[in-house]
Amino acid sequence: MAKEIERKFLVKDDGWRAEVSSSSDFLQAYVASGDDRSVRVRIMDGARARLTIKLGRNLLARDEFEYDIPLADAQEMAANAVGIVLEKTRHEVVHEGYTWEVDVYEGTYKGLVVAEVEIEDEDAEPELPDWVGKEITGDRRYSNVVMATEDLSGELCHGLSSAAR
């Protein structure tokens, strides 16, 4: 069983853009969700797809299972998504030995920019880049499954410049 341990932050400025090593467009749709689990399908660059199952209530560390699936299956699942289909571009940025994933949202959540870093254990303290703002690890509003199943765009996308600090 794979364990995902990650911290999440708002992004306060564009300082990360000069350090991007790769980028990918995502369409992310939830097939099912519950209080302690979610099943999502992600289509990457319109060319490949993955099915992900996450288990656990803790937003810092959860069990995670991921599988490549046929693109046509993913497209059909996305067409039957629960709630909002999330659209974002994920940019990878390496900083002080950690790979940061900066998600720039489009569509319903246009304007929201969030950075995540996967860590080796819950006590790890990666060096924070200057462009990282307020930590939102554990804030359920910024969980992708919550963003997909509850429209929080009005709350999360307005006044971001001051909230990111």
Contact 100, 90 (CB under 8 A): no
Report pLDDT digits (tens) over 63-94.
899 999 999 999 999 999 999 999 999 999 99
Contact 15, 129 (CB under 8 A): yes
- Catalytically annotated residue among 30, 105, 109, 142: 30
d(CA 62, CA 37): 9
> Is 67 a known active-site residue?
no
Please report the pLDDT score of residue 165 as a whole number.
Answer: 55
pTM passes above 0.95: no
Give the residues across from 64 on adjacent strands. 2, 54
Domains and CATH numbers, the chain: 2-163 (2.40.320.10)
Name, in order, each residue with C-beta under 8 angstroms of 147's C-beta and a sequence gap of 6 or more.
Answer: 84, 86, 109, 141, 156
Q: Which has the closest alpha carbon to 134: 5, 6, 12, 2?
A: 12
